[in-house]
Structure 1
Amino acid sequence: MTQLGGVQSWCLGVTLQLVLAAVLHQGFATVAPPTTAAPHKEPGRPEKGNYHVYGTNNTACLLASMGLQLNITFSSVSQNKTLQEVVNLQPNMTKSSGSCTEERAILKLTTDSDKTNLTFSFTLNTTTNKYHLSEVSLVAVRPDTKEPFSTSNSSLDYLQGTLGYSYMCHQEQTLDVTQVLSINTFQLQVQPFGLEGDHFGAAEECQLDEDDMLIPIIVGAALAGLVLIVLLAYLIGRKRSHAGYQTI
């Protein structure tokens, strides 16, 4: 029985290590937002909006469905220090526009009164039939700055997908644009090329979603293995116990 207890303890220890490794893997896979320059109040999870761009023949050439949260670092005039502001884009107050060519698709999101202009530019490699988010720019009028907030980056490599397929990521992910701007996306699905009608093509899921699905599989397999090993150890121990009562 002492040997059986030792086997069970070993199995439990191995299972706990597998579960802990899976949880730590998920923690490391999640992209952390940049550190803040000053404490701020989070506005909560943004509402998901549906945005589209139509080409010259009046057919959709870009579709996007996502919740967007802007993390802006700026110099406050009244407080004379650097602050970070977190702003959710509200779909009912945001208009979408843009343009498409064979190798470039642009989505422009403009809030009411043109106070915020956020632009996403996607590039298609016609040799590999792969696309990615290559540029993001933001111009926003803030009430506590000397001039409109403006920043951009044209050397990005996010949201990589295949021509004819959409890119999907249900998990929250952070796109680091510049030192003063990062964007949190929620329940994102986007397709800038190869659309057939006004609907998304088959989805290619992001690594964060795949990791999120992998954890329950690892935990379930570890628990199933533990049950099997304990059952085998019990049967072996019981067989040996009965063998001890046989007459020599």
Structure 2
Amino acid sequence: MTDGDAFAAPARFPSARPSPPHGAPSPAAGNMEPRWSPRGPLRLPRCSACLLLLLGTAGFFLSYAVEVDVKDASNATCLYAHWMMRFLIKYETNSSDYKNATLSLSSNVTHDGSICGNDTQAALLAVQFGEGHSWSVNFTKTNETYQADFITFTYNTNDTAVFPDAKRKGPITIVVKDTMHPVQLNNVFVCHNTDSVEAENVTQFFWNLTLQAFVQNGTIGKKESRCDADTPTSAPTVLPTVANVTTASTTTLSPVPTTAPKPVENPDTGNYSLKSENETCLLASVGLQLNVSRDKPLLININPKTTSADGTCGNTAATLRLNDGNSRFIDFTFVVKNASANVRRFYLKEVNVTLLNHVNGSVILSADNNNFSKWDASLGSSYMCRKEQTLEINEVLQIHTFNLRIQPFLVKENKFSTAEDCSPEVDNFIVPIAVGAALGGLVVLVLMAYFFGHKKHRNAGYEQF
């Protein structure tokens, strides 16, 4: 599964299950056709499903692997999937601030609505979990291949354990087109590496995926089709953990000449933009470097060539979400202050960083700081700072920025507006220092003049005697 475009869908439904998207099984009567109701799609009497929950851990969060084995009327497997997933959701609170919620699968997972599909009808893999949350993906096939079409995710902000103080209440549904490559029939699609889908303030993470739709003769295929990240030519990158950070050997018998570590070069500058209704609404140009301080400091440059931008634009809040393609996710949230005043300004309020293990999807580091007052500029202008700046996320994570220029609001003609430079912030200190030095020099000159003048006057008095 790969990033896809977000499709418009009603933001709230009377139930946690939306109407089927285009390409998904449609309401109809007859064999193997699902019936949609306010309670969600009903399981067909001719199709049974088996669900196994495998307890596991992933990072700092409890996570469950899900195995779904859908069977047809003859009790033969027709759709099989085993995977792990987690959701990172940004939501608005009653105080108009934004918080990040992590939603993982719980132990009470059901599978209502999963169906086999056939030559004319899409297959559907659907699960429900927690307090009104649900997730599904539908598959279509040709004569030789099958592929996923749409992912539908519904989260319920009435779940106060996950969304405390949420301003918007009730189920919220997003529908994302999945651009999974077609897979040969009778092949199993496998992707151990972490993949993600981002849309509408939600990032969906998937890993350890094994899947086969339209299973023939009830037998899971033996040939695998791997995702791009799992190809043998691309060794997975393992981000540092306490366990795998290289340490000095204690068994060395003789001293080994050491050389100073090669300094990490400054990151390349990336250019990012967001659009709303086909018009650019946010522009950013910045080089980014992560500084992770655990057992040993580690500098990670964000490569703009592999980094994609997503996020949201608004009148008083905007979020730029960067995915570097190597399981590193950075969110920058900007807000407008003095919204009712004649002169309004924007600033950076929150930064959220998530680092995942590229092999198994476990969380290596998740950190956020929602108390920034950085990158302040007038609304309608851009903020610029060529010098290096440091954002303190928490005690173990910093972000260094280089050649920064950002405009999260009121972008016109796809260009940056007049920049407010950070350099005057330094110049403001230089002016009083220069004035103080000049005054100090003047005082010294006055004292010296007085001293020499007074001494000359005394010498003149001696000559009179």
Paired with 1:127 and 1:97, the residues of 2 have a C-alpha distance of: 29
Identify which of 258, 264, 269 aligns with 1:48: 269
Query: CA RMSD, aligned part only?
Result: 3.6
Identify which of 120, 127, 134 aligns with 2:340: 127
Deviations 1:178-232 (A, max 9, x none): 22211111110101011112111111111xx2266679999999xxxxxxxxxxx
Deviations 1:25-53 (A, max 9, x none): xxxxxxxxxxxxx9995422111111111
Moved more, 117-126 or 136-145: 136-145
Q: Equivalent residue of 2:346, what SS?
A: strand
Matches within 5 A, 1:8-27: none
Greater Cα radius of gyration, structure 1 or 2: 2
Deviations 1:101-160 (A, max 9, x none): 11111111111x451111111111322422111111111124699932232335222331
Q: In structure 2, what is the equivalent of residue 155 of structure 1?
A: 370
C-alpha contact 1:67 1:187 (8 A) present in aligned 2: yes
Matches within 5 A, 1:164-175: 164-175=380-391
Q: Equivalent residue of 1:210, what SS?
A: helix
Q: In structure 2, what is the equivalent of residue 102 of structure 1?
A: 315
Unaligned ranges ≥5, structure 2: 1-244, 248-260, 436-465
2:293 equivalent to 1:73: yes
Amino acid at match of 1:90: N
CA distance change for structure 1 residues 196 and 141 in 2, over 3 Å: closer, same or farther? same
Deviations 1:45-66 (A, max 9, x none): 11111111111343x1110011
User: Which structure carries more helix by proportion?
Assistant: 1
Unaligned ranges ≥5, structure 1: 1-37, 75-81, 222-248
Matches within 5 A, 1:1-248: 42-58=263-279, 60-74=280-294, 82-111=295-324, 113-125=325-337, 126-128=339-341, 129-142=344-357, 147-159=362-374, 160-206=376-422, 209-210=423-424
Which of the pair has the greater relative contact order for Cα pairs under 8 Å at 6+ separation?
1
Q: Tell me the TM-score normalised to structure 2 length.
A: 0.36
C-alpha contact 2:389 2:402 (8 A) present in aligned 1: yes
Deviations 1:76-125 (A, max 9, x none): xxxxxx333210111111111111111111111111x4511111111113
Q: Tell me the percent identity.
A: 29
Q: Number of paired residues?
A: 201
C-alpha contact 2:355 2:366 (8 A) present in aligned 1: no
CA distance change for structure 1 residues 132 and 211 in 2, over 3 Å: closer, same or farther? closer
C-alpha contact 1:164 1:193 (8 A) present in aligned 2: yes
